Amino acid sequence: MSLKIDKQTLYLVGGVLAILVISSLAGWILSLRVKSEAGRATVKNLNARTRAWWIMVAIFALAMATGGLGSIILFALTSFLALREFITLTPTRGGDHRSLFWIFFIILPLQYYLIAIKWYGLFSIFIPVYAFLLIPIRSAIAGDCEHFLERTAKIQWGLMICVYCVSHVPALLSLKIPGYEGQNGKLMFYFVLVAQISDVLQYVWGKTLGRHQIAPNVSPNKPGKDFSAESPVPP
């Protein structure tokens, strides 16, 4: 599918590039001026973040430029990495091994394939209905009854968050809105921009204005003002 490059797209891309150029310059000036040890560490961290942003923007722009397919591949990889991280931290047992193989190498690619062929009727229920039934069946065949419901629930939930939810980002591209044909790329752009601005704002607020810690056990560096920073962000 081809995406139209219109004025709004140019504004969006231009705005992001402008912000990045400004932050790179600011980071460079700060690195020259800051003298204290703690300050230097902060600036180093800040500049590493800015560099990561450049890379993210470059990859995302490349994916957008190739149209639908590039975006689908990008988000499929994102899903893969997220699921890998999720399952690594989730206690599974030997009996889950075959189910895990299924979710990584069959269900995940199939979900993105369904998105690519725009089969809305199937990709919107494929994981919550069919995959959710398949996982407990596969685990049951493996014959391990220990913590069966817990294990099944954890794998299902990992699949839901890391694959089903993430896959709906490139699915935005196949959304049919009357009078908005060919402009769906902007929806995806907006979605990613909002999510990432939330990340930037909580960092900036935490470093500058944050005072009261709301949940120190969760993230010792994130004070309460973060919530005010992130709250205007729609889901």
Partner 1 sequence: MKSLFAALAKFITGANARWVGSAPETRQRVYFANHTSHLDPLVIWASLPPDARTLTRPVAARDYWSKSKLRLYIANKVFNALLIERKKPTAHDNPLQDMRNALGDKHSLIIFPEGTRQTGSEMAPFKAGLFHLAKDCPEAEFIPVLVENLNRILPKGEFLPVPLLGSVSFGPPIKLETGEEKIAFLNRAQAAVKALQKS
**What is the binding site for partner 1 (CB under 8 A)?**
80, 84-85, 87-88, 92, 94, 97-98, 100-101, 104
| Least Cβ distance, residue 113 to partner 1 (angstroms) | 19
**Residue 94 vs 234, nearer CB to partner 1:** 94
| Least Cβ distance, residue 145 to partner 1 (angstroms) | 17
List the structure tokens of 127: 């994981």
**Residue 89 vs 149, nearer CB to partner 1:** 89
| Least Cβ distance, residue 92 to partner 1 (angstroms) | 7
Residue 5: DSSP 8-state: -
| Least Cβ distance, residue 91 to partner 1 (angstroms) | 9
Alpha-carbon distance of 187 to 176, in angstroms, equals 12
53 neighbors 18 (Cβ within 8 angstroms)? no
List the structure tokens of 53: 């942003």
| Least Cβ distance, residue 56 to partner 1 (angstroms) | 20
**Residue 103 vs 173, nearer CB to partner 1:** 103
Q: How many CB atoms lie within 10 A of CB 202?
A: 21
**Quick one: which of 173, 188, 191, 163 has its CA closest to 69?**
173
**Residue 85 vs 150, nearer CB to partner 1:** 85
Alpha-carbon distance of 146 to 3, in angstroms, equals 50
123 neighbors 115 (Cβ within 8 angstroms)? yes
**Residue 54 vs 148, nearer CB to partner 1:** 148
**Residue 138 vs 222, nearer CB to partner 1:** 138
| Least Cβ distance, residue 158 to partner 1 (angstroms) | 11
Alpha-carbon distance of 107 to 83, in angstroms, equals 12
Residue 163 burial (C-beta neighbours within 10 Å; 0-12, 13-18, 19+): buried
**Residue 11 vs 105, nearer CB to partner 1:** 105
| Least Cβ distance, residue 189 to partner 1 (angstroms) | 30
Q: Coil, strand or helix: which one is 92?
A: coil
Residue 36 burial (C-beta neighbours within 10 Å; 0-12, 13-18, 19+): exposed
